[in-house]
Chains A and B, each alone.
Chain A
Amino acid sequence: MTPLDLMLGALGLAFGLAMVRVLRGPTIADRALAGDVALYAVIGAVALLALRQDAPPFLDVVLVATLLGFLASVALSLLIGRERR
């Protein structure tokens, strides 16, 4: 399964690039945004690993992580919006 490995590598690269922005980003919003992108890369990687290891239960992790990512970014935006006072 070479193409699957290639796509996993692409997602890993995406995670690394987003992490560079998390470390470098000048504002908190930059870090939150890049963390979101990194989370999406991880979700995609989990789905591909479920395929690669032939382990369908991992797909539930994808569903839960999608919702958690949304909640996390909304909560972070509330915190960022409060920073200005």
Chain B
Amino acid sequence: MSVVATVLIGLGAGLVLLASIGVLRFPDVLTRANAASKATGLGLAVLLVGVAVEVGTPRGWTVLGLAVALQLVTTPVAGHVLARAAYRSGAPLWEGTRSDDLRGYYRTHPRLRDEVRPPAHDPGPGAA
């Protein structure tokens, strides 16, 4: 393998590994979503570029370049949608959370969020 490909693939695999460590160790859903979407998006893109460098054929560059472009476009969207759904479904936040700008804007799931959230019918700061 060429040096460039080795470095790129190693960087990508390391980033995916870091993402999985973050998903395992972080305290709540939103921080895990942060770790997962950032590190896997960039990590997989870098890894695929490294594979394309090593394969080197026009077809390989086309397929992997398309995959990298789609990856870079779709990963942030998927992470955002998933984190938003998690917040709306009432996933408990980490007790060290300092700011929560969406607090009170959604009717949240009473079963999960009673200890962290205001009551379910709190109209929120924007409704006054």
A residues apposed to B, CB below 8 Å: 1, 3-4, 6-7, 10-11, 13-15, 17-18, 20-21, 26-30, 32-34, 36-38, 40-41, 43-44, 47-48, 50-51, 56, 59-60, 62-63, 66-67, 69-70, 73-74, 76-78, 80-81, 83-84
Give every chain A residue within 8 A of B102 (Cβ-Cβ).
Answer: none
Closest 10 pairs (CB-CB, A-B)? A29-B86, A77-B85, A14-B20, A70-B74, A17-B20, A7-B13, A81-B85, A80-B85, A73-B78, A40-B40
Tell me the bound Cα distance from A1 to B2 in angstroms: 11
* A84 with B88: CB separation less than 8 A: yes
In the complex, what residues of A have CB within 8 A of residue B86's CB?
Answer: 27, 29-30, 33, 77, 80
Give the residue name and chain of the A residue nearest to B29 (CB).
A29
A-B contact count (CB 8 A): 175
Other contacts beyond A40-B16, A76-B85, A81-B84: 5, CB < 8 A: A3-B1, A29-B91, A30-B32, A48-B13, A74-B77
Contact between A34 and B23, CB atoms less than 8 A apart? yes
In the complex, chain A residues whose CB is within 8 Å of the CB of B54: 51
Residue-wise, chain B 30-55 has the 8 Å CB interface mask toward A (1 for contact) of 00110010001001100110010011
Q: Check if B23 sits within 8 Å of A18, measured CB to CB.
A: yes
Q: B39: nearest residue on chain A (CB-CB)?
A: A37
What are 23 of the A-B contact pairs (CB < 8 Å)?
A: A3-B10, A10-B14, A14-B17, A18-B20, A20-B24, A21-B32, A27-B89, A27-B91, A29-B33, A36-B78, A37-B23, A40-B43, A40-B44, A43-B44, A44-B47, A51-B1, A56-B60, A59-B64, A63-B66, A63-B70, A73-B81, A76-B82, A81-B88
